[in-house]
Amino acid sequence: MKNIIVAIDLGTQSSRAAVVRQGGEILGISQTLHELEAPHEGWAQQRPDQWWDEICQCIQQVMRDTGVLPEQLAAVSCCGQMAGPVGIDTEGELTTPWAQLWCDKRCAEQVEALHAAHDEKALMQLAANTANPAWTGLKVRWEKDHRPESYERTRWYLVPKDYINFKLTGVAAADHTEASLSFLYDANTQDYSQPLADAVGVDLAKFAPLHNAYDVIGSVTAEAQKLTGIPTGTPVVAGAGDFPASMLGFGIIGEDVVADVTGTSSLLAGHSPEPVIDPAIQNMRHIVDGWVPFTILDCGGMSMKWCKELMSSVNGECSYEQLIAAAEDVEAASDGLFFFPYMRGERRSENVNSKGGYFGISTEHNAAHFTRSVMEGVAFAMGKDAGIFRSCGLELTTIMSVGGGTRNQLWNNIKAAVLNLPMQISPEPEAGIKGCALLGEKAAGFIDDVGAEAIARRQASNTVTPDPEWVETYAKGQKEYNRIYDHMLGFWS
């Protein structure tokens, strides 16, 4: 019986493959860790051929571990880290041995040139976003300017999950969620935009045709079968970026739900019928109807990883549990110590090259203050963005907190107090995999409406209620954080 979906999650820190039974039960996951390379300031890159090798190994491993048979596989669905252009030529060979990642800032010069040459407000009305180095189209323009031979040889620029799909099927395809964050996509027509491509200065013909995330784009080839064990002819869906796939997997659908998604990055995201046009807000097409207005902190969850590595380098290996326990003994607001978590820059045009920092250090502060301040700094960054959401008319009544960051209960309590909102904590640790599986189930004919099914499967384990004393303390801290932030706008340019 064909009742198993192969769900692939190509992340910034790992490649993973899972087998998921019809209905959403994850039978097993295989994972291979990888690192990002940063050979120059502001760069972040990885090797696409390594991704493919890892994915093949993970698929074979998870099928061995679970005993799932090839004849049980109904469809393949992939999500992945977003906005990292992978170039291939007409033979399917890589033209970009190293792919720029979503957090790579090397194309800041191209962004500045775009701002200087065009009316930013007019472009924003088309793209529903301001130009910044995160977007795929600007990264491709960097390739054109700095690697012209590679650019000319490239037939397709594919984002990471689309590259995996190409290796599985031989078909170049894209989906609307990823395209909407390319700065080559007209939010009004919901299709590629020639005027935007002209402004960016790239050839629109190098970008793959658009599909819905749950559309079947092709089937597994004989060559891919040899490497993965997935039978030839198994349907493969277009898939989506890991962020929108997680939004689907968590059931973040409907205007009454706003999500705090803390993984490597941290996002504050909602669901709106139309884009929210504001320079401080970014907009992405949802997998279902409508848009996801969001703000993103590139170094949100990664800030805690950095903090752990910093403390471990001084005192020997520290666990997250040890760091959190020490931070719990520090008063709310860390005795005036502020952490600004912009260690990989920011999406705002004035702050693309910003750095992280501590502000307000005194002789009374110790290591525990610095740790707690990291958690508070990420929460204050969210609080600043929540204020922007409200000023744009978005309702914030309840936050659903999702992602790996939810395992840190102290952080949950801090966020709830900073936002002064109850936070529903999702127990789902594998939203990307679950979202992928939903897309595969749709393709296999197991479900009719991925949005309705995602809502039906949505769950929250408990609700964190803001501590009134902390709310008052953090309200004062938020004002001070915002004041310092406003003074730093443009400092790093």
The CATH number that applies at residue 31 is 3.30.420.40
Residues 218 and 279 grouped into a single domain: no
Q: What is the structure's pLDDT at 123?
A: 95
pTM: 0.85
Residues 66 and 20 grouped into a single domain: yes
Domain count across the chain: 2
Which helix (H) or strand (E) segment holds residue 262: the answer is: strand 258-262
Q: What is the structure's pLDDT at 265?
A: 80
- Residue that finishes a domain, picked among 192, 216, 238: 238
Contact in structure between 18 and 28 (CB atoms under 8 Å): yes
Q: What's the Cα-to-Cα distance from 6 to each of 27, 64, 177, 214, rounded to whole Å?
A: 10, 13, 21, 14
Contact in structure between 172 and 208 (CB atoms under 8 Å): yes
Task: Read off the pLDDT of residues 121-132 as tens digits, 9 standing for 90 and up.
Answer: 999 999 999 998
Residue 482 has pLDDT above 90, yes or no: yes
Residue 435 lies in a domain: no
Residues 201 and 334 grouped into a single domain: no
Q: Among the listed ranges 57-66, 163-172, 342-351, which one has the minimum average pLDDT value?
A: 342-351
Residues 231 and 290 grouped into a single domain: no
Task: Read off the pLDDT of residues 353-373 as tens digits, 9 standing for 90 and up.
Answer: 788 999 999 999 999 999 999
Residue 450 lies in a domain: no
3-state secondary structure of 187: coil
Residue 404 has pLDDT above 80, yes or no: no
Find the helix packing angle between 242-250 and 450-457, rounded to 10°: 60
Q: What is the structure's pLDDT at 349?
A: 66
Q: How far apart are CA 40 and CA 34, in angstroms?
A: 19
Q: How far apart are CA 171 and CA 156, in angstroms?
A: 11
Per the prediction, the chain carries an average pLDDT of 93
Residues 42 and 75 grouped into a single domain: yes
Contacting residues for 406 by C-beta, under 8 A, at least 6 apart: 262, 412, 425, 426
Residues 329 and 382 grouped into a single domain: yes
3-state secondary structure of 284: strand
Residue 443 lies in a domain: no
Residue 455 lies in a domain: no
Q: What is the structure's pLDDT at 216?
A: 98
Residues 45 and 157 grouped into a single domain: yes
Task: Read off the pLDDT of residues 334-343 as tens digits, 9 standing for 90 and up.
Answer: 999 999 999 8
Residues 293 and 396 grouped into a single domain: yes
Which tokens hold the place of 374?
């990291």
Q: How far apart are CA 88 and CA 84, in angstroms?
A: 13
Contact in structure between 443 and 216 (CB atoms under 8 Å): yes
- Residue that finishes a domain, picked among 217, 238, 259: 238
Residues 59 and 165 grouped into a single domain: yes
Q: Among the listed ranges 100-109, 199-208, 235-244, 247-256, which one has the minimum average pLDDT value?
A: 247-256
Residue 279 has pLDDT above 90, yes or no: no
- Per-residue confidence at 111, pLDDT binned at 50, 70, 90? very high
Q: How far apart are CA 10 and CA 59, in angstroms?
A: 12
Task: Read off the pLDDT of residues 139-154 as tens digits, 9 standing for 90 and up.
Answer: 999 999 999 999 999 9
Q: How far apart are CA 83 and CA 271, in angstroms?
A: 21
Residues 153 and 298 grouped into a single domain: no
Residues 229 and 259 grouped into a single domain: no
Q: Could you count the other beta carbons within 10 Å of the beta carbon of residue 196? A: 21
Q: How far apart are CA 336 and CA 326, in angstroms?
A: 17
Task: Read off the pLDDT of residues 14-48 as tens digits, 9 standing for 90 and up.
Answer: 999 999 999 999 999 999 999 989 999 889 999 99
Residues 94 and 164 grouped into a single domain: yes
Task: Read off the pLDDT of residues 418-474 as tens digits, 9 standing for 90 and up.
Answer: 999 999 888 777 889 999 999 999 999 999 999 999 989 887 678 999 999 999 999
| pLDDT above 70 as % of the chain | 98
Residue 403 has pLDDT above 80, yes or no: no
Q: Higher-confidence residue: 257 or 191? A: 191
Question: What's the domain range around 146?
Answer: 4-238
Q: How far apart are CA 308 and CA 164, in angstroms?
A: 32
Q: How far apart are the first and last CA of the chain?
A: 59
Contact in structure between 415 and 401 (CB atoms under 8 Å): yes
Q: What is the structure's pLDDT at 314?
A: 85
Q: What's the Cα-to-Cα distance from 22 to each of 68, 240, 350, 440, 451, rounded to whole Å?
A: 13, 19, 47, 9, 16
